[in-house]
Chain A
Amino acid sequence: MNKMMSDKKVIALYVLPPLLLLMILVYIPIVMTGYYSLMKWDGIGSMQFIALDNYKQLLQDNMFWKSTYHSFLLALFSVISLAGYLVIALVLAGKIKGANLLRKIYLIPMLLSSVAIAQLWLRIYHPSNGMLNKFLMSLGVDDPPNWLADPKIALYAIFVPIIWQYAGFYILIYYAALKNIPSSIIEAAVIDGANPWQIAYKIKLPLIAGVIKVTIVLAVVGSLKYFDLIYVMTGGGPNGASEVIASYMYQKAFRSFNFGYGSTIAFSLLLICMLMTWLIRKLTNSKEEIQY
């Protein structure tokens, strides 16, 4: 038995095909991005080694800092909205009629493709015939804003569909975690005279702290690498007002054909994501894990 289940040839046969794909498509490209980031390269011609020049340029690139700021702003909004999802999941996981239907409705936007969502919201934000401005005009607002063309609000206008897209996802995760709490614990608290607020705040939240931690990492890293809706809806515009790190990288690499500099942005994105993951884990790790 043991001999058969440790046959090296068999193991290689099962592990190597998926592992090779992972190496070729994910890990080697990561290393190559780091390598290209030290080059001056247009993607077609020959490469020229320029050491850290791209990184020096990056540090002085206002557009990079602006898009990094926008990405972190999205991360901040996402994390704040997690608190709202948590409240909704707490209510939903109580004995509520229709909870199952509601969480299905919340989830629907997450299942749609980014392009469909982006195209739909381009219509919703349409200055004269869009859902939003038609609604505002029916309320008597004479001059509703042109949401995506106004540099002051375009970025925030795009945050709304991003939140719309992922709300159901986080509610679903919190809901599942809350439903996993053994009912005996809650019953014991009720017998001890705890009120619903105390049960939620002192018992349920600490018990799902691990899941909350995971969602914070997901929300932050997911926001920092966010690309799709911004690329389709504004392309980072108007005039860089909604540019984020990934869209800026895409523009430099595949629009300006500056593969070297694009790689520098891409590699920085990876480092920023890893750093933030590490930081959040470290900041939230001080408390002991609660067992039940």
Chain B
Amino acid sequence: MQKETVMEKPSMALVPSSRGFAKTIGMVFFYAILIVLALFQILPLVWLLFFSLKNNQEVFNTPLLSLPSPPRWENYVKVWVEGNIGQYFFNSVWITTVSVVLTVLLASFATFAITRMNWKWKHVVLGLFMVGLMIPIHSTLIPLFSFFMKMNLIDHPLSIVLTNIGFNLPITIMILLGFYQSFPRELEESAVMDGCSVHRMFFRIILPMTAPVIVTTTIINMIYNWNEFVFVNTFISSDEFKTLTVGIQNFIGQYTTDWGAIGATLMISVLPILIVFFFLSDKIMEGITAGAIKG
């Protein structure tokens, strides 16, 4: 019908095409903004990758963003061997693993009891967890320091595992909540009819069913724990227990003039997260969106 109108009045044909032209200009403009932002976000990291493979001479004298030739992989070998990077890396891996497993398990316990069981105070308890999302960690730092001091946990990795769990329980419960609320009550009813105990039901039926959201919360927790800075920086003083995030801070302090070594150290510290992101970006984005309340 529209075609007919246009054909009857040829002069009108100009209107849609000029509108199309304006639209194209608009699209080019918006695309330009999107791409400039993408460059702003990614170029610093490209530059980091390049200078991690150069020596000082090359960093100072070659143009910005010139490819390292030849790439000096020895920078990576050097910091791994000379620095304590291997030790820091190992600490980050085990502290993150233990914290993530315990956080997700405890959060699943709490979410199960809050959404599937019947008791008087469940809304109050849920409220406590949700308000916990808004608490600035700096408002807890001094008492935590003096508490860990009394418990002989200063410079002990348990202080980090505990705070990792405590401060990530709220966000984890929040992500789990929607999933737990979505499955039907009949599920438990049939399990009970089959003579299942609550524990059996939780571990054999509920927990396996929540596998997709457990993956999401695990990845989100992994990123937060891997990157945790303030607690490790405040509670841990010896190299033996430092995580990569805080360890590289000291290490870089000693190498302030060796750009290649600094670049290589930074690359080693961010690579695990980038690799996980490359393979699991959709899960990560899902988790971040679900947990939008944590700033």
B-contacting residues of A (Cβ < 8 Å)?
Answer: 1-2, 4-8, 10-11, 14-15, 17-19, 21-22, 24-30, 32-33, 36, 43, 87-88, 91-92, 96, 102-116, 119-121, 123-124, 128-129, 131, 134-135, 138, 164, 167-169, 172-173, 176, 211, 214-215, 218-219, 221-222, 224-225, 227-228, 232, 246, 249-250, 253-254, 259, 262-263, 266-267, 269-270, 273-274, 277
Q: Give the complex CA separation of A167 and B39 in angstroms.
A: 13
Query: From residue A13, how far is it (CB to closest CB) to chain B in Å?
Result: 8
New A-B pairs, 20, CB < 8 Å, besides A131-B47, A164-B44: A7-B198, A15-B110, A19-B110, A22-B170, A26-B132, A26-B140, A30-B135, A33-B143, A43-B145, A104-B285, A107-B277, A107-B288, A119-B266, A128-B60, A172-B289, A173-B292, A218-B295, A225-B138, A266-B138, A270-B136
- Let me know if B285 and A111 touch, CB within 8 A: no
Task: Produce 1/0 per residue, B254-295, CB < 8 A to A.
Answer: 000001001100100110011001000100110011001101
10 pairs, A vs B, C-beta closer than 8 Å: A1-B188, A19-B110, A25-B167, A29-B143, A102-B38, A108-B45, A135-B64, A164-B40, A168-B41, A266-B138
- Let me know if B143 and A14 touch, CB within 8 A: no
Tell me whether B87 is interfacial, beta carbon within 8 Å. no
Selected from B51, B129, B142, B285, the residue in CB contact (under 8 A) with A263 is B142
Q: Who on chain B is nearest to A271 by CB?
A: B139
Q: Which residues of B contact A224 (CB under 8 A)?
A: 136
Query: From residue B55, how far is it (CB to closest CB) to chain A in Å?
Result: 13
Q: How many residues of B contact A (CB 8 A)?
A: 90
Assess A88 versus B59: contact at CB under 8 Å? Given A18-B109, A36-B142, A172-B285: no
Query: From residue B218, how far is it (CB to closest CB) to chain A in Å?
Result: 15
Tell me whether B100 is interfacial, beta carbon within 8 Å. no
Assess A116 versus B112: contact at CB under 8 Å? Given A33-B140, A91-B34: no
- Let me know if A227 and B138 touch, CB within 8 A: yes
A-B contact count (CB 8 A): 258
Q: Who on chain B is nearest to A252 by CB?
A: B142
Selected from B59, B139, B234, the residue in CB contact (under 8 A) with A30 is B139
Q: Which residues of B contact A225 (CB under 8 A)?
A: 136-138
- Let me know if B229 and A113 touch, CB within 8 A: yes
Binding site of A, secondary structure by majority: helix, strand, loop or mixed?
A: helix
- Let me know if A169 and B288 touch, CB within 8 A: yes
Q: Which residue of A4, A164, A215, A273 has the most chain B CB atoms within 10 A of its CB atom?
A: A4
A-contacting residues of B (Cβ < 8 Å)?
Answer: 30-31, 33-34, 37-38, 40-45, 47-48, 51, 59-60, 63-64, 106-107, 109-110, 112-114, 116-119, 125, 128-129, 132, 134-147, 162-163, 165-167, 169-170, 173, 188-189, 192, 198-199, 202, 223, 226-227, 229-230, 234, 245-246, 248-249, 252, 259, 262-263, 266, 269-270, 273-274, 277, 281, 284-285, 288-289, 292-293, 295
Q: Give the complex CA separation of A14 and B114 in angstroms.
A: 9
- Let me know if A5 and B59 touch, CB within 8 A: no
Q: Which residues of B contact A96 (CB under 8 A)?
A: 30-31, 34
Query: From residue A241, how far is it (CB to closest CB) to chain B in Å?
Result: 20
Selected from A17, A259, A277, the residue in CB contact (under 8 A) with B134 is A277
Query: From residue A30, how far is it (CB to closest CB) to chain B in Å?
Result: 6
Query: From residue A157, how far is it (CB to closest CB) to chain B in Å?
Result: 14
Query: From residue B215, how far is it (CB to closest CB) to chain A in Å?
Result: 16
Q: Give the complex CA separation of A270 and B135 in angstroms.
A: 7
Q: Which residues of B contact A25 (CB under 8 A)?
A: 140, 144, 162-163, 165-167
Q: Which residues of A contact B234 (CB under 8 A)?
A: 254
Query: From residue B252, how far is it (CB to closest CB) to chain A in Å?
Result: 6
Assess A10 versus B117: contact at CB under 8 Å? Given A22-B170, A25-B140, A113-B269: yes
Q: Who on chain B is nearest to A274 by CB?
A: B134
Q: Give the complex CA separation of A168 and B283 in angstroms.
A: 15
Q: Give the complex CA separation of A250 and B230 in angstroms.
A: 10
